[in-house]
Amino acid sequence: MFKKQQNRERKRTFKPERWSGILRKKKCKFCTDKGIGIDYLDHQLLRRFTTERGKILPSRFSGTCARHQRKLTKAIKRARNAGILPFLAE
């Protein structure tokens, strides 16, 4: 039983060499700059939030808040249906 406890404690130790930099939370681009609006016709803005294959980036990668991520997703889907953005990359 004593060996099991030692193994658990060994697994939980913090390894500082793994963390090379300081982790900080990304700020929402749309919350910080109020002048930027989300519009389905703005294909250059919407391309920044999609991958090369055409998938929508999750908020943990893009740094958007939940409210703007929902608006962004709707705008990307509308742009796809309107033919402005591709569904899949070539």
- Containing H/E element for 76? helix 66-82
How many whole angstroms separate alpha carbon 83 and alpha carbon 61?
25
- 90 compared with 1, residue with greater pLDDT: 90
For residues 35-62, average pLDDT = 92
Residue 23 sits at φ, ψ, to 5 deg, of: -85, 130
**Cα separation of 6 and 66, whole Å?**
41
How much is the average pLDDT of 68-85? 95
Domains of the chain plus CATH, in order, are 25-90 (4.10.640.10)
CB 63, CB 29: distance < 8 Å = yes
74 in Cβ contact with 46 (< 8 Å): no
**Token pair for residue 55?**
């998938």
**The pLDDT of residue 16 is above 70:** no
Question: What pLDDT, on a 0 to 100 scale, did the predictor assign at position 6?
Answer: 60
pTM for the full predicted model: 0.70
